[in-house]
Amino acid sequence: MCGIVAAVGDVNEELCREMLGRIEHRGPDDTGEIRRGDVWLGHQRLSIMDVDKGSQPMTGADGSTYLVANGEIYNHRHIREDLGHRLFETGSDSEAALHALTVDGPVGLARLRGMFALAFVDANGDFLVARDSLGVKPLYWARRENVTLFASELRAFDPADRPLVESFPPGHCWSRSGGLVRFTDAIPARIRPARRAEQPGVWDEKLLKSVRDSIVAAVENRMMSDVGIGVFLSGGLDSAIVAAIAAEYAKRHDQPLPTFAVGARGSSDLAAARVVAEFLGTEHHEIVMTSADAAAALPKAVRAIEHYDPSLVRSAVPNLLLAEYASKRVHAVLTGEGADELFAGYSYYHDGEFGDPDALQAELVRTVGELHHLNLQRCDRTTMAYGMEARVPFLDRDVIEVALSIPPEHKMTGPGIEEKKLLRDAFAGWVPESILRRGKEQFGDGSGAKDVLEQAVREVPEIAAAEGVELRNAEEAAFYAIWRDELDGIRPDRTLGLFATT
């Protein structure tokens, strides 16, 4: 939902408007800006909630406070109840953030449950910017001597400012008076190291129900939309579970559920997604990806995700083709991101290094906290490249708490215990048995993107590991070459999620 730009200090309004224009793709429905003292707020809107009245910058009834936000506040109805409906003038979920901050100041951030990056100025001209705990929604900043700039994407910044750009840390807020402050943790603080499982791989219905109920609630909370919502259906376990819950919700509310799958002709993902869609009775769409499609989408994908990591690029190409098609039919989609990190779905989790339960638990916590550098960046950029919002129910705060409270022994593989067995058992009967027991495939592999990209990659000149850039293989060198062409000599640091000139 949308893109934001903000500036505080010695503001150059023309520069700010240029920054906003560079992320117009994130919000094609409307543009707004406000200057208040030495603060400038800009917004590109993707209209999802209260299409008619939810324009931004949003202001309170007396016109003394202003807010721009990117994302969704899933508990906005509860906030309305707590603060009183008399304060609210629209049905927009972002208005809940505006009034929470107006009433409580920075402490109001604790009320917000959802994915967001926001900038707020109060009646005294005090400025605050904040990002959600996991960094589901992107935010970058550049701190110059006389002004601090914020934007939803790296490309928004002027080339002269890009060497200064950093990823704004998730779970933090910043103000001139208080500086950078952590207001929430990616992993809920009340999670304790999981107790030992007496019988690893054996669980009762109570545990299965807690997992199932938390995920069902998270999906249903993310079905809110005034303009239609769909599901990206890869044919894997995680997206199939999301689709199954969404399909039940859609039936109860007498609304259609579009599902979207992409892959090369004959790919395993297309076939599996078709099985799920027929089982659930969804309004299913397939995009058959050719080598020519992949080659044409490759530079667009590298530019969109602002990265050249091979695994990200391989999955970004089909994601981008899927988003281009789906965006003409819905404004928001649900995806299965996060399940592998919470329930140990990747094969490397089960290698020797993480054979110890405590080591596995620590690695799961680490990778969940680092998602904003990689998969969430790809998920956000490929959908927002076509003005469509992606929602990630597995990364709901309650789901994270439940999943990381499970004894790690229950997530380890062994004789008769496949990866994510607990998650599979929790949703037995919800999806076809063949999908429930389908083995893990990376999206770039299952969709066929890895194969169809091979020819495109061979045609791109390789770049030697010069200029201080470590390139791990010919594939990454090819993607880096595209990166250099598309992003004007700016490269991401793979581990820190920061950006620097080459």
Other CB atoms within 10 A of residue 436 CB? 17
Q: Per-domain residue ranges for the chain?
A: 3-182, 205-488
CATH, domain range 205-488: 3.40.50.620
| Tokens, residue 138 | 């992107």
C-alpha to C-alpha distance for 489 and 148, rounded to whole angstroms: 23
Map residue 298 onto helix, strand or coil.
helix
| pLDDT value for 352 | 80
Residue 231: beta bridge partners? 259, 334
Q: Can you tell me the distance from the alpha carbon of 314 to that of 295, in angstroms, rounded to the nearest whole number?
A: 11
- Locate the DSSP E strands across 251-408: 258-264, 283-289, 332-334, 389-391
What is the rounded CA–CA span in Å between residue 116 and residue 391? Answer: 11
Dist. CA 389–CA 238, nearest whole Å: 19
The CA distance from 390 to 135, in Å, is: 13
**Domains 3-182 and 205-488 are alike in CATH topology:** no
Q: Provide the H-helix boundaries in 306-343.
A: 310-326, 339-343
The confidence score (pLDDT) of residue 466 equals 44
Q: Where are the alpha helices (DSSP H) in 47-88?
A: 76-83
Per-residue pLDDT of the chain (502 residues; tens, 9 = 90+): 589 999 999 999 999 999 999 999 998 777 899 999 999 999 998 755 545 666 889 998 788 999 999 999 999 999 999 998 888 888 889 999 999 999 999 999 999 999 999 999 999 999 999 999 999 999 999 999 999 999 999 999 998 998 899 999 999 999 999 999 999 998 876 676 556 666 777 788 999 999 999 999 999 999 987 778 999 999 899 999 999 999 999 999 999 999 999 988 888 889 999 999 999 999 999 999 988 888 889 989 998 998 888 888 888 999 999 999 999 999 999 999 999 999 999 999 998 889 889 999 999 999 999 999 889 999 999 999 999 999 999 999 999 999 999 999 999 988 778 899 999 999 999 999 999 988 766 555 555 566 667 666 666 555 544 456 777 877 788 888 888 777 664 555 543 344 444 3
pLDDT at 465: 45
Give the annotated binding-site residues.
93, 262
Residue 494 is predicted with a pLDDT of: 43
Q: Which residues pair with 332 in a beta bridge?
A: 229, 389
Question: Is 2 an annotated catalytic residue?
Answer: yes
CA 390 and chain centroid, separation: 6
Task: Give all strands of the β-sheet with 66-73 in edge-to-edge order.
Answer: 58-59, 66-73, 114-121, 127-131, 172-175, 179-182
Angstrom distance (rounded) from CA 396 to CA 134: 10
Arch. (CATH architecture) of 3-182? 4-Layer Sandwich (3.60)
Q: Residue 231: left if φ>0, alpha if ψ -120 to 50, beta else—which one?
A: beta
Residue from 388, 271, 374 nearest 321 by CA: 388
* Annotated binding-site positions for ATP: 262
Nearest to 297 by CA among 314, 275, 277: 314
